[in-house]
Copies of this chain bind each other. A is one copy, B any other.
Amino acid sequence: MDKRPIGVFDSGLGGLSCVKEIMKIMPNEDVIYFGDTGRVPYGTRSRETIIKYVRQDIRFLEGFDIKAIIIACGTASSAALPWIADENDTKIMGVVEPAAKAAVSATKNKKIGVLGTGATVKYGKYASNIKALCPDAEIVQKACPLFVPLVENGYTDSDVARLIAAEYLEDMKKKSVDTLILGCTHYPLLKKVIGDIMGKDVTLIDSGAMAASAAYEFLKQESLLNESGENGKYRYFVSDSVEDFSALGGMFLDRPIKESVEKIDIEGF
């Protein structure tokens, strides 16, 4: 047993969809969350910049006595993790591998769709992970650059979201994918809009939730789960306004953020 907290970070709010799943399946775990709200979004930036930001995010979390880090961000997992995985002593897990595994398990027709940010699609890590598990899978990728701003501005169930989603999903429907990875942790908030367009028979894979499940399996296997029976404690850190984070974060967690949120200067790490 290991009572140390799990570190989780994202470019902003999206990673809270992973924390929501941690709260559900590992209610005893303490979590330290960092949302880089001062530099969100990551998905439109170059790999060089994303790697720089991710290194700082990891350095910040490593300042706590943590047992593992989850990169709860599709962009950072795709465009940074493969290049920096060997740099750290701490166990670092991303969202790509677990989501690819879940998609391969779920698909029947071997046609799998991947929705992500520009950077996520560019580096194709969901696709290469799927191919490694299922070489004859047909993969349809689509960059959805407007989804993050839509979610962050509360347009989760709106005509605007439906119009944009219909455009982004056109190819997915044409090619009859039966499984669709929501490859950015912001996208679960658009699950209803995406699900309505794709139809009931298409399985949507929530990458943040899958990363939480994979973390559970890892901690269990390594005997690192917190089995104290006590309720987990949560600490939130951001790089911009704490008020905005508290107000919007509840949307992702499906419960209000009552804990204090602290602002840090991430550029100093």
Contacts and interface: CB of A to CB of B under 8 A. Distances in A.
A247 interface: no
Interface stretch (A104-112, A158-166, A175-183, A201-209): A158-166
A244 interface: yes
Interface in A128-161: 145-146, 149-150, 152-153, 155, 159-160
Contacts of A49: 38, 239-241
A59 interface: no
Given A38-B49, A49-B241, A244-B46, A153 B145 contact: yes
Contacts of A239: 49
The number of chain A residues touching the other chain, given as a range, is: 20 to 34
A167 B87 CA distance: 48
Stoichiometry, as copies per complex, reads 2
Contacts of A152: 44
A39 interface: yes
Nearest to A266: B267
A159 B163 contact: yes
A45 interface: yes
B146 A150 contact: yes
Interface of A: 37-39, 44-46, 48-49, 145-146, 149-150, 152-153, 155, 159-160, 163-164, 167, 239-241, 244, 267
Given A38-B45, A146-B150, 6 more contacts: A37-B45, A38-B39, A45-B241, A46-B241, A48-B241, A49-B240
